[in-house]
Structures are given as C-alpha cells and as structure tokens.
C-alpha cells in the first residue's frame, strides 16, 4: 500500500489515443495523481505532454498505428525502456463507422473490429504478460454506452464495445489471481471532437441533454477520477467491473 490509496507516484501508465479528448483527460488525471505517462498516438501529442509536465510528471510519446497488432509488443518495450516500468494500461484508442445495417460494408466492419477489439486484446496480452512477470498492474479498457445498449447505424462499433465488456471480464477471471486488475470505464456523452457533430445538431443535442439527468455533456476530465480509482490500490479488489461515467444516462 502507498501512503494514500489513490496515490500513483512511482507508477507508469500507457494511454492510447492520448493526444486529445478522453485519452488526454485520463492521461492528465493519472499524471496529477503521480504517474508517468507513455502517450500512444498517431498524431501530435505536444499539448498532452505539456499538461503532464505541468502536473509534475514525466512522459514519452510512442507513435503507433493501432489499426493492426504490429505495435503491441513494441509499445510495452518502449514504455519500459523510456520510463523504467509499466504498471497501468488504458486502452482508449478507438474508431467508429456509421451506416444502416442493410448497407454496412465489410471494410467498415473489419476496420472498427480490428482497432476497437482485436488490437485492444493483443495490447492487453502484451501488457498483461509484463505485469504478471513483474508482480502486478492495472488494465482499464474504455467501453461505451453501447456496451449496454444497441445504438443505431453503428453495427461494428456496438459489436466491438460489447466485446470490450466481455473481454474485460474474461481477463479479470484469468488474471485476478496474478495481481492484475482488469476493469472498464463506459463514458456517456462526452464533449470531444468525435461528438462535435452531435453537439452542433440542435435537435439531437436537445434530445441527448433531455435524457441525461445531470443536464449537461460530460467533459474528458470527468473520466479522470474513475481512471485514477481503477488504476490505484483503492481498487485492488475491483475486478471485471464496467464503470459507467454518464451523468445518469443509463439510469434514465
């Protein structure tokens, strides 16, 4: 146990898709709790790295295209090489494709399933092997409201995020006895670049806000506390849980 159960000092976290939005919010929250962060992204992560430095933590940037499993083992190796260890993995990177189910293409199915589920699993595998051999760690997968609900016109996204929920439980079953916690966060409607179109659609935005008991869109920072909790000693007996951070969306 650390001096404070939420203290992440001395730990190192990998956060995928950390350049903006939810990934950035989680990376900064983990850094503010004391962790050093390996930022995995295809894009420029200068802003996130600057926020982490401001929080008093170290970071490194690992450029990787997570549309295939090729970078998974390299991500673990570069994290350990640059920051000395790996204690926390946050699988945030994901994509979405939209079309009617009658018109959904195989390419759009495969692209989303590969990034959101296949690569997520094999990055869990690579990190999990390291964590098991080094004494333990924490894995946090980013699920979705569509882990619980069906959605519309996002067949592969719904399938992938349902799969994330199942894999989270499967890995918890296998690794809980090896001192590795595996849980997920299911964000509600969060104001990011990915949801800009929904926010700017007056009718759809109103419908969404009417459904959320909190009466507002979430901010990426709203997910930070959940991530710190699941990454910390405070959650050492939490396994296979999918924590909704949704302003009450699922409760309505």
Domain count, the chain: 1
230 falls within a domain: yes
Number of Cβ within 10 Å of residue 113's Cβ equals 16
Q: Cα–Cα–Cα angle for 49, 55, 58, nearest 5°?
A: 50
Q: Can you give the pLDDT at residue 2?
A: 46
- Which one of the listed residues 121, 157, 175, 217 is annotated catalytic? 157
- Assess contact for 54 and 250: CB atoms under 8 A: no
The tokens for 11 are 């730990």
1 falls within a domain: no
Whole-angstrom CA distances from 130 to 6, 25, 191, 201 are 23, 25, 34, 45
51's CB contacts (< 8 A; 6+ apart) are 24, 27, 28, 31
Number of Cβ within 10 Å of residue 96's Cβ equals 20
- Assess contact for 62 and 45: CB atoms under 8 A: no
In this prediction the pTM is 0.96
59's CB contacts (< 8 A; 6+ apart) are 27, 31, 36, 37, 38, 39, 48, 49, 52, 53
To the nearest 10 degrees (0 to 180), the angle between helices 21-32 and 46-54 is: 20
68 falls within a domain: yes
CA distance linking residue 20 with residue 221, whole number of Å: 11
In the residue annotation, 189 being an active-site residue is answered as no
Q: What is the pLDDT of residues 188-215, one digit of tens each?
A: 999 998 888 889 999 999 999 999 999 9
Q: Which ranges of the chain have pLDDT less than 70?
A: 1-3
Q: Can you give the pLDDT at residue 197?
A: 83
129 falls within a domain: yes
25 falls within a domain: yes
Q: Cα–Cα–Cα angle for 238, 17, 63, nearest 5°?
A: 125
Q: Which of 130, 10, 135 is nearest to 76 (CA)?
A: 130
Which residue carries 């991530």 as its tokens?
227
5 falls within a domain: no
The tokens for 213 are 């008991």
CATH number of the structural domain spanning residue 19: 3.40.50.720
Q: What is the pLDDT of residues 19-48, one digit of tens each?
A: 999 999 999 999 999 999 999 999 999 999
131 falls within a domain: yes
Query: Domain containing 211: what range?
Result: 12-251
The tokens for 6 are 């939420």
3 falls within a domain: no
- Assess contact for 18 and 250: CB atoms under 8 A: no
């Amino acid at each position: 146990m650390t001096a404070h159960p939420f203290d992440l000092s001395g730990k190192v976290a990998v956060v995928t898709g950390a350049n903006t939005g939810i990934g950035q919010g989680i990376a900064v929250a983990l850094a503010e709790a004391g962790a050093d962060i390996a930022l995995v992204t295809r894009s420029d992560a200068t802003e996130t790295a600057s926020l982490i430095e401001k929080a008093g933590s170290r970071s490194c940037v690992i450029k990787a295209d997570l549309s295939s499993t090729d970078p998974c083992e390299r991500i673990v190796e570069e994290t350990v090489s640059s920051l000395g260890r790996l204690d926390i993995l946050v699988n945030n990177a994901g994509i979405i494709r939209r079309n009617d189910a009658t018109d959904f293409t195989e390419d759009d199915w495969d692209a989303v399933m590969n990034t959101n589920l296949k690569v997520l699993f094999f990055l869990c595998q690579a990190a999990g092997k390291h964590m098991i051999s080094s004494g333990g760690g924490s894995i946090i997968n980013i699920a979705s409201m569509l882990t619980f609900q069906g959605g519309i016109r996002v067949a592969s996204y719904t399938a992938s995020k349902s799969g994330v929920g199942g894999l989270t439980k499967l890995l918890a079953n296998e690794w809980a006895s090896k001192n590795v916690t595996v849980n997920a966060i299911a964000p509600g409607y969060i104001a990011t670049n990915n949801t800009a179109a929904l926010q700017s659609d007056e009718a759809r935005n109103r419908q969404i806000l009417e459904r959320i008991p909190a009466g507002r869109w979430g901010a990426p920072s709203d997910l930070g506390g959940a991530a710190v909790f699941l990454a910390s000693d405070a959650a050492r007996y939490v396994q296979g849980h999918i924590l909704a951070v949704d302003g009450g969306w699922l409760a309505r």
